[in-house]
């Protein structure tokens, strides 16, 4: 895996990390979803978060997206605290995300979904949009071309004008990645990108992830059940169990960590390729 | 906390007004409770449907008016006994309710919420127009056993028809309580209200529960409509004034919490009393608010106040936001 | 599915996406009239616009003026409800606000303390007032969803009639106020339109208003269309389909939910100005600017098509014309007497609403789109037969 | 379709449009009306009257815009619109039987449904305006207000079917009866001089709308002229609970209540008064009254008794069985053309309204001009509208400036069993204040 080497190379120790999560605690009523979670993600790194169901993986993403507001701790992106910001602000700051259960705008076509990824890059507001001619039109064409390029890369061109709601699941997954790419993110959050995929699809997706990480240099956080995938492509891994961080380190260390093995053996399903989420 | 503060302030205002002129105060208070009982009955119908489907059912307004006219038809045209007529009307409206659910609302599952609400508005208008086509020459009141009769409570006179309304309101609330608490169907209804999918997974027949809810809503609508048509406060009599009153009950439902029967009753009483107090004292104490009309918007202002403090109403279940 | 991500360039048999090709395609796709048939349609509409007032009877001119006014307000409501997914029963309130702003500014100085301003001034003022009030109404929408929002906007409707009634300077209270009489833009008087001296007598008020109102329908439709085909329109639809996901891709809910209210209310108030010109005397009560009127607007967008621009206009013509058609043919409909005509109109109206929602939830435009999508799916997406239809959702 | 053929089509469409512009369609009546005005002056008596829309030389067609259906319209129609239109019709039936206006021009009515809604009313107007020479009846204040500017443009005269004083100031309208303000003034004044006094507590309970304003305006004027102050003015929104207002009347010990209501609220107000054990002299303006309140068998007994004991109605006209020639004629016409018609104040109003129209048309015939403009001019030539005792005569003079509203009101008490449930206490009662009252411009 070349991506692994590449990622290690791009994050020299000593430079400040892109993302710094420190001592984040999140509670819902009496339930503690995350307890003192700390980690950092370096520029260009492919970081993975693993853990059994209910470990709090998606909760971390929701904190990074400012959907949830942790009661304690800080989340700094380039030194700016994300806690208390609006979710839309995180997009402007360079955080993009794909969702476990897909969150596409299903009445809109593929291109419009990709264009929404470029929402925070574009500037046309109500007034400029109303007038259309000139600025708004030029911006629209410019960004549409960019989205077409992304669609082409992801093999979405045949479906360009089809409302995404009627497209097959695998295509929708790719559209979601495309939308995240269209956002030109600095940090990409991938929530179980291969869930429900067969072996071939999983391999395709893995290749895509490595390519985005490697060629575009986008830092990533990958939440995944598929341990093989994680072990294959991630640089470093954080293991969570019921909201509590149990291990953090390079892939090799985590693989052999007894606590991680225990947490995973504790649940019925054995992690492996193609495991359904 | 804030809510308690608002409550204390409102209560203090009531106490002040009570000492200001007891006779007037208690007369208005009694009228407010009577009005509140009508609102409560209308709201209970709204609540049943909201619990089952998660929408505010404007068709309820139409069912209230339509129910009144069906009762009228049985009492006046066919000369039936009042209670028998009401029972008959309840059966008719229960069937209409089930019909609405079966042939209209059920097909809307998964559609945007405003489409569903609009559908219920369409059904409301349909019932209202049908009234205009069917009963072209109706009298202004449903003949009833309590016309012109009052009971005295100290120095306050209350219409007998209002007393009956209050008793019926209390009875409906009590039967709701008993139904939800002690019957298997009620348990199913509670489960459905909390989570339809989970209820389905537990083997509860959700479509059956929803249909039953519509039947109950239809029957409750008949009680509200019949009492309004029989001259219960606000004495609009038999006519389209009933739908205006039924619409006025919407803020009461929000104040109580869209899914809470007890909330519906308390919301109704709060709105009823607030309305009468506003009419009775506003021109005297705050004449700058105009000669009338403030009382009509006060329920909505109270509603916004409650929503600001508790977005799910006084007794409603909190809505969990999902990504 | 075959290879997903860009395979090595050498392995790609087809040409790599060429920037200029893509740009040309983008230009073609975002055109207002992408195919010649659209141009034909536009030309036919233009011809109709020019000819209709000359041949229409006063009654039908009246009906079409009112339909045009409903179309304008409906376009605003469709932006809010159809595109942004915020259901509102408050449209009639903005019609009232627009009408009374126009009345106060536009009626003569000797009539109930009017300010005697010209058309352009009171039109712009009404739009601005509508936008400002729309901003205030939009704020609660940030916290309220679905049923709650519907009830709050209904409350807003009641509060508006109350405030207008109490604000006697503007509305003349219970007595109601005359609306501005004349509509002059430059030297053209729309209430007595003389078609550049080509007729021996000027056209009537209804016909003049037809020319005025429908040009504004066209302008409003164009502006709304521009919004929905550019960045803000996509953002609104994203908010409608999945508001949290929209926020995560960078759409500010505050800006777009409130923005939708602002724009839609401004358009509603503009419709109100024309409603005032049409009705000429307005009393601020539930009968003239109440729930019935609001429901009328909602019916227009449902029947015409939620989330489409041209559908709204079609819906306005259908909803506006239907009662008169029924009335005109009431003699030929058995069992219909003078006293049951309106009940019959009401039943037809309600059934139209209910049946549309049940059978074609995206209205007239939905039926057209369904037809197109079926074609599209057949050619574009083989093997997705089991998926749901594009028009449901 | 290629670009060329598209361009061709567009061109054709535009050419077609211009062609039609030149040939002209549209509002022919406006041009007719304009032409008619110019020739009116040169007309002379004796010749066949000038024709116009609604008059083809033999038959005069008059419009009636009244609610016939609709949510509120149906109620208004049943209680007011239908009997009033029937009054119009019966009058013209009897005139037509004698040959028609001036013995030769028959009159027919064309009715359009306003549904008691201004928007629908405007469409009803546009529907029939080209067919009619004048509007016999327009019912509903909001409907008429929306129509006023159009009446002016189209030079159509209209008979208002409400009693607002302001109608007197519109040259296109021909009101026939004492206004609400004067009914209030006279009603209160009658009370002061008959059983009450200035020192009694006199109050007002009024609907909070334009009609209510008119009643309150009259009450204030009477109070100022007679030298007392109104104890309290209570207002209510129609179809809402009136407990608070009645309680306020009771708390203020009101001895007399001027009741400015419509029949939709009368029952609720009185029932509330009964409930609260409140008794006073109620002086109701005519729109609050409906004969069926005491006529129908199923009405509530305490309600009937309360009305009989405590309510007066300030209205116009006389007892149904009065021997005045105007009523003799009306009863004869009913016997002949509408034998099932029950005694009804709105029927009587409609009958007299048609009588007023008749007088105006007679003048128009005499002027030799039955065009719209001619009829409009005829209003100013009628001098005084005479009703043979059915209503007080109405002095019109030569323009709106010279019109003098009739001042008398008739005060009725309520008696179950007599026609309309009304028994005259004082016919054509005029107070001192009524003589000086001027409606606001």
What is the ipTM for the molecules in this complex? Answer: 0.89
Q: Distance between CA D153 and CA D276 in Å, rounded?
A: 52
Window 193-222 of A: residues touching C by CB (8 A cutoff) are 201, 204-205, 207-208, 211
For C281, list phi and psi in degrees, rounded to 5: -150, 125
CATH of domain D3-178+320-405: 3.40.50.2300
Which residues in B lie closer than 8 A to residue C150 (C-beta atoms)? 56, 114, 117
Question: What is the residue whose two structure tokens read 């080497």?
Answer: A5
Q: Are B323 and C244 an interchain contact pair (Cβ–Cβ within 8 Å)?
A: yes
Alpha carbon C222 to its chain centroid, in Å, reads 11
Q: Determine if residue D386 is left, alpha or beta; phi over 0 gives left, psi from -120 to 50 gives alpha, anything else beta.
A: beta
Q: Are C147 and B113 an interchain contact pair (Cβ–Cβ within 8 Å)?
A: yes
CA dihedral B174, B177, B181, B185 (to 10 degrees): 100
Cis peptide before B234 (omega within 30 of 0): yes
For chain A, the domains span: 1-94+187-193+219-277, 101-184
| Helix (H), strand (E), coil (C) string for chain C | CCCCCCCCHHHCCCCCCCHHHHHHHHHHHCCCCCCHHHHHHHHHHHHHHHHHHHHCCHHHHHHHHHHHHHHHHHHHHHHHHHHCCCCCCCHHHHHHHHHHHHHHHHCCCCCCCCCCCCHHHHHHHHHHHHHHHHHHHHHHHCCCCHHHHHHHHHHHHHHHHHHHHHCHHHHCHHHCEECCCCCEECCEEHHHCCHHHCCCCCCCHHHHHHHHHHHHHHHHHHHHHHHHCCHHHHHHHHHHHCHHHHHHCCCCHHHHHHHHHHHHHHHHHHHHHHHHHHHCEECCCCCCCCHHHHHHHHHHHHHHCCCCHHHHHHHHHHHHHHHHHHHHCHHHCCCCCHHHHHHHHHHHHHHHHHHHHHHCCCHHHHHHHHHHHHHHHHHHCCCCCCCCCCCCC
Helix (H, G, I), strand (E, B) or coil at D310: helix
pLDDT (tens digit per residue) in A7-35: 333 444 556 889 999 999 999 888 889 99
- Average pLDDT of the residues in B88-101: 97
- The structure tokens listed for D5 are 């053929």
Q: Chains touching chain B at 3 or more Cβ pairs under 8 angstroms?
A: A, C, D
Share of chain D above pLDDT 70, in %: 88
- Average pLDDT of the residues in D294-322: 88
Residue B153 C-alpha, separation from nearest chain C C-alpha, in angstroms: 35
Banded model confidence at residue B215, pLDDT cuts 50, 70, 90:
very high
Helical (H) or strand (E) element with D243? helix D243-251
- Average pLDDT of the residues in D423-432: 93
- Least Cα distance to C101 among C271, C259, C258 occurs for C271
Q: Are B28 and D243 an interchain contact pair (Cβ–Cβ within 8 Å)?
A: yes
Which residues in C lie closer than 8 A to residue B128 (C-beta atoms)? 346, 350
Is pLDDT above 60 for D7? Answer: no
Q: Distance between CA B321 and CA C253 in Å, rounded?
A: 15
Q: Distance between CA D318 and CA C159 in Å, rounded?
A: 44
Residue A145 C-alpha, separation from nearest chain B C-alpha, in angstroms: 30
Banded model confidence at residue B192, pLDDT cuts 50, 70, 90:
confident
| Cβ A197 vs Cβ A174: under 8 Å | no
CATH of domain A101-184: 3.40.50.300
| pLDDT value, residue B283 | 87
CB-side neighbour CA atoms (13 Å) of B16: 9
Banded model confidence at residue C331, pLDDT cuts 50, 70, 90:
confident
- Least Cα distance to A50 among A219, A277, A204 occurs for A277
Class of A1-94+187-193+219-277 in CATH: alpha beta
Alpha carbon C297 to its chain centroid, in Å, reads 8
Banded model confidence at residue C195, pLDDT cuts 50, 70, 90:
low
Q: Distance between CA C370 and CA C378 in Å, rounded?
A: 12
Q: Distance between CA C133 and CA C159 in Å, rounded?
A: 12
b or e along C280-306 (b: 16 or more beta carbons within 10 Å of the residue's beta carbon)? bbbbbbbbbbbbebbbbbbbbbbbbbb
Average pLDDT, chain B: 91
| Cβ D94 vs Cβ D337: under 8 Å | yes
pLDDT (tens digit per residue) in A227-240: 888 888 999 999 98
For chain D, the domains span: 3-178+320-405, 180-315+410-436
Which residues in B lie closer than 8 A to residue C349 (C-beta atoms)? 125, 129
pLDDT (tens digit per residue) in B146-163: 988 899 988 899 999 999
Q: Are B132 and D243 an interchain contact pair (Cβ–Cβ within 8 Å)?
A: no
Alpha carbon B310 to its chain centroid, in Å, reads 21
Q: Does B152 touch chain D (CB under 8 A)?
A: no
Residue B23 burial (CB < 10 Å; 0-12/13-18/19+)? middle
Q: Does B22 touch chain D (CB under 8 A)?
A: no
Q: Does D1 touch chain B (CB under 8 A)?
A: no
Beta bridge mates, D344: none
- The structure tokens listed for D178 are 């004492």
| Cβ B43 vs Cβ B167: under 8 Å | no
**pTM score of the predicted model:** 0.90
- The structure tokens listed for D292 are 């069926």
Choose from A211-215, A257-261, B194-198, C166-170 the range with maximum mean pLDDT. C166-170
- Average pLDDT of the residues in D4-30: 46
Alpha carbon A31 to its chain centroid, in Å, reads 25
pLDDT (tens digit per residue) in A47-101: 999 888 778 888 999 999 999 999 999 999 998 999 999 999 999 999 999 998 8
Is pLDDT above 70 for A270? Answer: no
| CATH T-level assignment (fold) for domain D180-315+410-436 | Rossmann fold (3.40.50)
| Cβ D100 vs Cβ D57: under 8 Å | no
For D415, list phi and psi in degrees, rounded to 5: -135, 120
- Average pLDDT of the residues in B231-241: 90
| pLDDT value, residue D48 | 83
Identical fold, A1-94+187-193+219-277 and A101-184: yes
Is pLDDT above 80 for D23? Answer: no
Q: Determine if residue A40 is left, alpha or beta; phi over 0 gives left, psi from -120 to 50 gives alpha, anything else beta.
A: beta
| Cβ C149 vs Cβ C88: under 8 Å | yes
- Smallest CA–CA distance from D34 into chain C, residue: C201
Window 109-128 of A: residues touching C by CB (8 A cutoff) are 112, 115-117, 119-120, 122-126, 128
| pLDDT value, residue D31 | 41
Give the DSSP letter string of B79-147. ---HHHHHHHHHHHHHHHHHHHHHHTGGGGTTS-HHHHHHHHHHHHHHHHHHHHHH-TT--SS---TTT
| Cβ A58 vs Cβ A77: under 8 Å | no
Residue A96 C-alpha, separation from nearest chain B C-alpha, in angstroms: 15
- Number of neighbouring beta carbons within 10 Å of residue D383: 14
- Least Cα distance to D160 among D133, D141, D178 occurs for D141
| pLDDT value, residue D355 | 96
- Number of neighbouring beta carbons within 10 Å of residue B205: 14
| Helical segments of chain A, H only | 2-10, 57-64, 87-92, 110-117, 126-131, 135-153, 169-182, 199-215, 227-233, 251-256, 258-265
Cα dihedral across residues D378, D381, D384, D389: positive or negative: negative
pLDDT (tens digit per residue) in D98-123: 999 999 999 999 999 998 888 999 99
- The structure tokens listed for B103 are 């042939």
Which residues in A lie closer than 8 A to residue B323 (C-beta atoms)? 62, 67, 99, 103
The conformation of residue D71, written as its DSSP 8-state character, comes to: T
Beta strands in B146-287 (DSSP E): 150-153, 156-159
- Least Cα distance to A110 among A170, A158, A181 occurs for A158
Beta bridge mates, D315: D410
Residue B280 C-alpha, separation from nearest chain D C-alpha, in angstroms: 5
| pLDDT value, residue C16 | 57
| Cβ B32 vs Cβ B157: under 8 Å | no
Q: Determine if residue C291 is left, alpha or beta; phi over 0 gives left, psi from -120 to 50 gives alpha, anything else beta.
A: alpha
Window 80-99 of A: residues touching B by CB (8 A cutoff) are 99
pLDDT (tens digit per residue) in D61-100: 999 999 988 777 777 888 899 999 999 999 999 999 999 9
- Least Cα distance to A55 among A34, A86, A41 occurs for A34
Average pLDDT, chain A: 86
């Amino acid at each position: 895996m070349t991506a692994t080497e590449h990622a290690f190379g791009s994050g020299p120790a000593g430079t400040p990390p892109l993302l710094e999560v420190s001592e984040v605690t999140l509670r819902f009523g009496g339930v503690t979803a995350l307890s003192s979670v700390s980690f950092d993600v370096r520029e260009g790194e492919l970081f993975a978060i693993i853990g059994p169901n209910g470990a709090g993986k998606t909760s971390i993403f929701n904190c990074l997206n400012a959907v949830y507001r942790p009661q304690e701790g800080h989340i700094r992106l380039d030194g700016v605290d994300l806690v208390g910001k609006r979710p839309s602000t995180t997009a402007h700051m360079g955080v993009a995300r794909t969702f476990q259960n897909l969150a596409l705008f299903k009445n809109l076509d593929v291109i419009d979904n990709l264009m929404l990824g470029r929402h925070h890059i574009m500037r046309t507001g109500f007034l400029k949009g109303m007038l259309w001619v000139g600025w708004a039109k030029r911006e629209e064409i410019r960004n549409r071309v960019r989205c077409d390029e992304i669609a082409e890369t992801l093999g979405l061109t045949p479906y360009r004008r089809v409302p995404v709601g009627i497209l097959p699941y695998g295509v929708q997954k790719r559209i979601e990645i495309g939308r995240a790419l269209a956002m030109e993110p600095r940090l990409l959050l991938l929530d179980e990108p291969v869930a429900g995929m067969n072996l071939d699809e999983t391999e395709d997706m893995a290749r895509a992830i490595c390519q985005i990480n490697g060629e575009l240099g986008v830092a990533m956080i990958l939440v995944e059940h598929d341990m093989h995938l994680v072990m294959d492509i991630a640089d470093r891994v954080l293991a969570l169990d019921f909201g509590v961080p149990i291990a953090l380190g390079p892939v090799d260390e985590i693989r052999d960590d007894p606590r991680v093995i225990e947490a995973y053996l504790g649940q019925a399903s054995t992690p492996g390729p193609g495991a359904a989420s | 906390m804030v809510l308690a503060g608002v409550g204390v302030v409102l209560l203090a205002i009531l106490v002040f007004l009570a000492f200001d002129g007891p006779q007037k105060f208690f007369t208005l208070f009694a009228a407010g409770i009577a009005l509140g009982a009508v609102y409560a009955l209308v709201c209970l119908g709204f609540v049943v449907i909201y619990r089952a489907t998660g929408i505010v059912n404007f068709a309820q307004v139409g069912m209230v008016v339509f129910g009144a006219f069906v009762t009228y038809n049985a009492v006046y045209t066919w000369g039936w006994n009042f209670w028998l007529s009401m029972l008959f009307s309840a059966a008719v409206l229960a069937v209409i309710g089930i019909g609405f659910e079966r042939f209209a609302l059920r097909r809307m599952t998964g559609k945007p919420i405003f489409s569903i609400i609009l559908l219920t508005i369409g059904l409301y208008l349909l019932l209202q127009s049908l009234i205009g086509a069917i009963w072209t020459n109706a009298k202004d009141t449903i003949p009833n056993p309590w016309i012109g009769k009052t009971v005295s409570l100290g120095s306050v006179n209350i219409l007998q028809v209002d007393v009956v309304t209050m008793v019926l309101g209390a009875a409906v609330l009590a039967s709701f309580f008993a139904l939800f608490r002690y019957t298997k169907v009620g348990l199913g209804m509670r489960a459905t209200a909390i989570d339809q999918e989970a209820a389905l997974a537990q083997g509860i027949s959700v479509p059956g529960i929803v249909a039953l809810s519509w039947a109950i809503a239809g029957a409750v609508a008949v009680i509200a409509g019949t009492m309004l048509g029989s001259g219960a406060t606000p004495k609009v009599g038999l006519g389209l004034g009933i739908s205006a009153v039924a619409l006025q009950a919407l803020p009461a439902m929000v104040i109580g919490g869209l899914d809470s029967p007890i909330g519906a009753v308390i919301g109704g009483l709060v709105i009823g009393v607030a309305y009468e107090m506003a009419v009775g004292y506003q021109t005297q104490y705050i004449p700058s608010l105009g000669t009338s009309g403030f009382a009509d918007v006060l329920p909505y202002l109270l509603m916004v106040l409650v929503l600001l403090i508790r977005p799910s109403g006084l007794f409603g279940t909190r809505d969990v936001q999902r990504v | 599915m075959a290879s997903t991500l860009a395979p090595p360039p050498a392995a790609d048999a087809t040409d790599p996406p060429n920037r200029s090709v893509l740009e040309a395609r983008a230009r073609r796709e975002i055109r207002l009239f992408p195919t010649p048939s659209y141009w034909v349609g536009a030309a036919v509409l233009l011809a109709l616009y020019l000819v209709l007032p000359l041949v229409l009877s006063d009654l039908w001119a009246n009906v079409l003026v009112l339909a045009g006014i409903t179309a304008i307000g409906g376009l605003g409501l469709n932006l809010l409800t159809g595109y942004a997914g915020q259901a509102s029963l408050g449209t009639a309130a903005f019609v009232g606000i627009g009408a009374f702003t126009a009345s106060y500014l536009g009626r003569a100085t000797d009539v109930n303390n009017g300010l005697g301003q010209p058309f352009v001034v009171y039109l712009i003022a009404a739009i601005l007032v509508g936008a400002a009030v729309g901003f205030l109404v939009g704020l609660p929408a940030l916290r309220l969803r679905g049923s709650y929002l519907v009830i709050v906007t209904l409350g807003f409707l009641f509060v508006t009639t109350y405030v207008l009634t109490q604000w006697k300077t503007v509305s003349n209270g219970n007595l109601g106020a005359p609306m501005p009489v004349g509509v002059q833009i430059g030297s053209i008087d729309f209430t007595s339109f003389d078609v550049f001296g080509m007729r021996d007598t000027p056209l009537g008020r209804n016909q003049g208003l037809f020319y005025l109102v429908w040009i504004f329908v066209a302008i409003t439709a164009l502006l709304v269309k521009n919004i929905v085909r550019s960045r803000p329109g996509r953002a609104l639809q994203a908010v409608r389909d999945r508001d949290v996901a929209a926020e995560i891709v960078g759409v500010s809910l505050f800006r777009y939910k409130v923005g939708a209210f602002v724009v839609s209310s401004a358009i509603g108030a503009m419709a109100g100005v024309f409603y005032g010109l049409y009705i000429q005397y307005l009393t601020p009560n539930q009968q003239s600017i109440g729930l019935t009127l609001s429901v009328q607007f909602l019916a227009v967008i449902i029947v015409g098509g939620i989330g489409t621009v041209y559908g709204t206009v079609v819906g306005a013509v259908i909803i506006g014309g239907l009662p008169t058609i029924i009335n005109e043919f009431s003699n030929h409909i058995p069992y219909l007497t003078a006293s049951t005509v309106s009940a019959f109109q009401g039943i037809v109206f309600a059934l139209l609403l209910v049946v549309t929602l049940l059978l074609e939830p995206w209205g007239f435009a939905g039926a057209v789109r369904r037809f197109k999508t079926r074609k599209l799916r057949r050619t574009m997406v083989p093997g997705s037969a089991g998926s749901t239809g594009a028009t449901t959702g | 379709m290629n670009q060329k053929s598209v361009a061709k089509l567009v061109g054709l469409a535009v050419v077609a449009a211009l062609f039609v512009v030149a040939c002209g369609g549209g509002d022919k009546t406006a041009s007719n009306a304009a032409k008619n005005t110019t020739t009116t002056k040169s007309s002379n008596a004796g010749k066949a009257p000038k024709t116009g829309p609604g008059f083809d030389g033999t038959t005069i067609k008059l419009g009636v815009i009244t609610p016939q259906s609709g949510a509120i319209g149906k109620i208004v129609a049943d209680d007011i619109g239908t009997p009033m239109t029937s009054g119009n019709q019966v009058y013209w039936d009897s005139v037509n039987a004698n040959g028609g206006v001036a013995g030769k021009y028959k009159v027919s009515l064309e009715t359009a449904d306003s549904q008691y809604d201004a928007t629908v009313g405007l469409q009803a107007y546009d529907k029939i305006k080209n067919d009619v020479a004048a509007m016999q009846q327009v019912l509903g204040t909001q409907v008429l207000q929306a129509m006023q500017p159009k009446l002016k443009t189209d030079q159509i005269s209209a008979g208002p079917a409400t009693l607002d004083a302001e109608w007197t100031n519109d040259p296109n309208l021909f009101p026939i009866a004492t206004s609400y303000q004067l009914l209030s003034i006279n009603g209160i004044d009658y009370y002061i001089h008959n059983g009450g006094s200035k020192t009694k507590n006199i109050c007002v309970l009024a609907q909070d709308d334009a009609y209510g304003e008119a009643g309150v305006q009259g009450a204030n004027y009477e109070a100022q002229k007679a030298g007392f102050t109104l104890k309290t003015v209570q207002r209510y929104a129609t179809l809402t609970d009136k407990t608070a207002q009645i309680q306020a009347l009771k708390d203020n010990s009101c001895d007399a209540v001027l009741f400015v209501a419509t029949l939709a609220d009368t029952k609720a107000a009185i029932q509330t008064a009964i409930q609260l054990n409140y008794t006073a002299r109620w002086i109701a303006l005519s729109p609050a009254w409906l004969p069926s309140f005491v006529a129908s068998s199923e009405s509530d007994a305490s309600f009937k008794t309360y009305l009989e004991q405590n309510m007066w109605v300030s209205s116009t006209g006389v007892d149904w069985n009065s021997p005045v020639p105007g009523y003799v004629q009306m009863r004869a016409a009913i016997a002949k053309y509408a034998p099932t018609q029950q005694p009804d104040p709105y029927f009587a109003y409609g009958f007299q309204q048609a009588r007023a129209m008749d007088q105006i048309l007679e003048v128009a015939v005499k002027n030799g001009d039955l065009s719209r403009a001619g009829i409009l001019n005829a209003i100013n030539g009628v001098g005084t509208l005479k009703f043979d005792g059915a209503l007080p005569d109405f002095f019109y003079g030569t323009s709106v400036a010279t019109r003098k509203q009739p001042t008398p009101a008739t005060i009725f008490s309520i008696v179950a069993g007599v026609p309309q449930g009304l028994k005259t206490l004082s016919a054509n009662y005029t107070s001192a204040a009524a003589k000086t009252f001027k409606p606001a411009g």
